[in-house]
A and B are shown apart, each in its own frame.
Chain A
């Protein structure tokens, strides 16, 4: 029996539809390096838009089955890789030249665990194989040094700051620069300038994702970020409490008015797991963020439990996805990270206006 043609293989693969992008994987250009030999052995590379793809394993099985069912095929060799697509209009931003995707983590009010979510999101993306940086844009209350256990001063090479490294992440925070226990008593314009410098005067290098931990609220730091770089999207963190959700909506409104796409809502402190009896208590109510996300028309990215382990690991300077990867809390963070990665990939296919001056 003759080997199938390239076209037959591609037709078979085009039955696989990316659930997030709503298009088949062939027309999305995910199938690369197709080789078919005379003995019916078919080999190709399946290039995902993120290493944290939630349907990675399903795609592989589907591809093997679809091609394996073709007459004449004796063997299917699928190599799964990932190439994070750069956000649109990247060339317009000289601020972060090597960074493909910038993901901001924001909240309406403080104390909802935004930084903990940001650190674990970054670490989970890193674990999936991506190159990840974490920029702490909270000038007044930098949390990244404490949450990662890094308390050094960054080196300066050729008048640029070299990011510090922990858990495979490139890190930069005002807490590394001013001294962690020194207060930054600054007005808005100083904050904006410092944030721009933490982007342009830092050798971030080549990154698939730069996670930006924003300060709470809708002030100078968030505005500067949204105006300086074309953000791929923003993750809003809230607790299930009505009060927190109502204020999270304000953050959402700000980003929407700046045309920054909300990647979705994360519900932190979703439920409390009693360390004595293991019972789940819904201290702040149940399902609030999911309902709010529905009402606002944004994706619900998942809930993170209020668990003593998260707090203990955070205070110890370790993201729980790294230090206790098998815990339910780590799994919750990984699930959120996969959702964020998937939503970010979708954004990279979005078209913005094309500008032409003559």
Chain B
């Protein structure tokens, strides 16, 4: 579970499952019209959903890695805020 306390006091909570399915990387989303890994995937194994590492990218985003080794997604703070609803 990733918890973010935002400037201004708001808090959002992000389970690994939500973050994995929201991964914005080209491999997951597809590019140039080609479908990505998450398009049409029904269910993901547990290791794909478990958070292992979070790194700050500059000051605009987080790079999030999962137990499966997948870690190419760079989640901007704006995106994370949207995900938090």
**Interface positions of A from 244 to 268, Cβ below 8 Å from B:** 257-260
Q: B2–A357 contact, CB under 8 A?
A: yes
Q: For the complex, give the distance between the alpha carbons of A354 and B77 in Å.
A: 11
**How extensive is the interface on chain B, given as a class?**
20 to 34
Q: A355–B4 contact, CB under 8 A?
A: yes
Secondary structure dominating the interface of B: strand
In the bound complex, residues from chain B placing their C-beta under 8 Å from that of A353 are 4-7, 77, 80
Q: Does A92 contact B (CB under 8 A)?
A: yes
In the bound complex, residues from chain A placing their C-beta under 8 Å from that of B60 are 226, 257-260
Segment from A227-235, A282-290, A316-324 that makes contact with B: A227-235
Q: Does B1 contact A (CB under 8 A)?
A: yes
Q: Which residue of B lies closest to A354 (CB)?
A: B5
Q: A357-B51, A358-B1 given as contacts; is B58 within 8 A of A352 (CB)?
A: no
Contact for B7 among A228, A352, A357, CB less than 8 A: A352
Q: Does B28 contact A (CB under 8 A)?
A: no
Q: For the complex, give the distance between the alpha carbons of A26 and B58 in Å.
A: 32
Q: Which residue of A lies closest to B8 (CB)?
A: A351
Contact for B58 among A230, A350, A356, A357, CB less than 8 A: A230
Q: For the complex, give the distance between the alpha carbons of A70 and B56 in Å.
A: 49
Q: A229–B51 contact, CB under 8 A?
A: no
Q: For the complex, give the distance between the alpha carbons of A257 and B1 in Å.
A: 27
Q: A259–B77 contact, CB under 8 A?
A: yes
Q: Does B83 contact A (CB under 8 A)?
A: no
Q: Which residue of B lies closest to A91 (CB)?
A: B56
Looking at B6, B58, B59, which has the most chain A CB atoms within 10 Å of its CB? B59
Shortest A94–chain B CB gap in Å is 10
Shortest A161–chain B CB gap in Å is 23
Q: Does B62 contact A (CB under 8 A)?
A: yes
Q: B2–A355 contact, CB under 8 A?
A: yes
Q: Does A275 contact B (CB under 8 A)?
A: no
Q: Does A89 contact B (CB under 8 A)?
A: yes
Q: A357-B1, A357-B2 given as contacts; is B59 within 8 A of A260 (CB)?
A: yes
Q: Which residue of A lies closest to B51 (CB)?
A: A357
Shortest A220–chain B CB gap in Å is 14
Q: Does A7 contact B (CB under 8 A)?
A: no
Looking at B4, B57, B58, B61, which has the most chain A CB atoms within 10 Å of its CB? B58
Q: Does B41 contact A (CB under 8 A)?
A: no
Q: For the complex, give the distance between the alpha carbons of A226 and B59 in Å.
A: 8
**Interface positions of A from 181 to 232, Cβ below 8 Å from B:** 226-231
In the bound complex, residues from chain A placing their C-beta under 8 Å from that of B51 are 357
Contact for B3 among A88, A93, A230, A358, CB less than 8 A: A358
In the bound complex, residues from chain B placing their C-beta under 8 Å from that of A93 are 56
Q: For the complex, give the distance between the alpha carbons of A260 and B76 in Å.
A: 13
Contact for A230 among B7, B56, B62, B76, CB less than 8 A: B56
Shortest B39–chain A CB gap in Å is 26
Q: A227–B57 contact, CB under 8 A?
A: yes
**Interface positions of B from 41 to 56, Cβ below 8 Å from A:** 51, 54-56
Q: A92–B56 contact, CB under 8 A?
A: yes
Closest 5 CB pairs of A and B: A259-B60, A92-B56, A356-B3, A351-B7, A354-B5
16 A-B interface contacts by CB (under 8 A): A92-B56, A228-B58, A229-B58, A230-B58, A230-B59, A257-B60, A259-B59, A259-B77, A260-B59, A352-B59, A354-B5, A355-B3, A355-B56, A357-B2, A357-B3, A357-B51
Interface residues of A (CB under 8 A from B): 88-89, 92-93, 226-231, 257-260, 350-358
Interface residues of B (CB under 8 A from A): 1-7, 51, 54-62, 76-77, 80
